[in-house]
Structure 1
Amino acid sequence: MATGLLTEDAADQIVTTCRTAIGDSLRSATYFARDDYQQLYLRDDLERDADLSTFIGHEWRGFKTAQTAYDGSELGDYNYTIRVFDNGFLIRVTNDSEGVFVTTDGLTVKDFEEVATALNSFLDSREIE
């Protein structure tokens, strides 16, 4: 796993944001840029065997594809993606240079909206720095 992309404070801020919005349903949180990533949180009951580099490549390409495909549509601007799996959910919040994907147990749409809004605020604040 790559490390050092974020300061410890920024990494803690992402995890705290996710834990506040999601609680014990949070499975993992991973920060990523185009070609590097940092897993910030993995719940103790989960295996550390996921191929995160493949996930990152897919999520980055997926963001770019969705952003381009829906640009200018009547749906409005792209905000975030929720993926549904047999054993949980993945939410991806991304901008042009970085993103966060979070895996969870079951959540409501309101929970997803809350964490997406908070993570978007975090990413937006980093663009200003």
Structure 2
Amino acid sequence: MASNLLADEAADKIVTVSRTAIGDSLRSVTYFTRDDYDQLYLRDDLEQDADLTSFIGHEWHDFKTAHAAYEGTELGNYNYTIRAFDNGYLVRVTDEREGVFVTTDGLTMQDFENVTTSLREVLRDEL
């Protein structure tokens, strides 16, 4: 899928690190900012016309809320969010400017850690 927000190389890298970490369990990859988003990958067997606008607004707002709520706690710095649903998971990696969420089938905690570490590196180094 082409991206309007990212250079093709950056969009490809986000999808590649997600596919490498998650494999065939990857359902979708979406890059977002506060104001816009691009769905970079969607597995062929999934509904192709989902409206992601409400997802983006919620994920951006929730990042701001979670980051502020947990700042300075004994838990340490906020890293990422995992949401569990009946048909899979959503993993969100966000910083002050942008974020990526991936949806997956079932994964292990190590798989979640691998994909979030990889996506953080891409957001920090490549974009």
Matched with 1:35 is 35
Q: What percent of counterpart residues are identical?
A: 69
- The answer on whether the counterparts of 2:83 and 2:89 sit within 8 Å (CA) in structure 1 is yes
Secondary structure in 1 matching 2:44:
coil
TM-superposed deviation, 1:86:
0.2
Query: Aligned equivalents of 1:54 and 1:64: distance in 2?
Result: 16
> Would you identify which runs of 4 or more consecutive aligned residues in structure 1 move more than 2 Å?
none
Alignment of 1:1-129 (within 5 A): 3-126=3-126
CA distance in 1, matches of 2:81, 2:44: 25
Secondary structure, aligned partner of 1:39 = strand
TM-score, with normalisation over the residues of structure 2? 0.96
Inter-partner Cα distance in structure 1 for 2:14 and 2:3: 15
Q: CA deviation at 1:126?
A: 4.0
> Is the 2:10–2:126 Cα contact (8 Å) retained in structure 1?
no
Question: Root-mean-square deviation (CA), in Å?
Answer: 1.2
Unmatched runs of 5 consecutive residues or more in structure 1: none
Q: C-alpha separation between the residues in 2 aligned to 1:126 and 1:94?
A: 14
1 CA distance for matches of 2:11 and 2:54? 21
**d(CA) in 1 for partners of 2:4, 2:108:** 33
- Which of the pair has the greater relative contact order for Cα pairs under 8 Å at 6+ separation? 2
Aligned equivalents of 1:9 and 1:126: distance in 2? 9
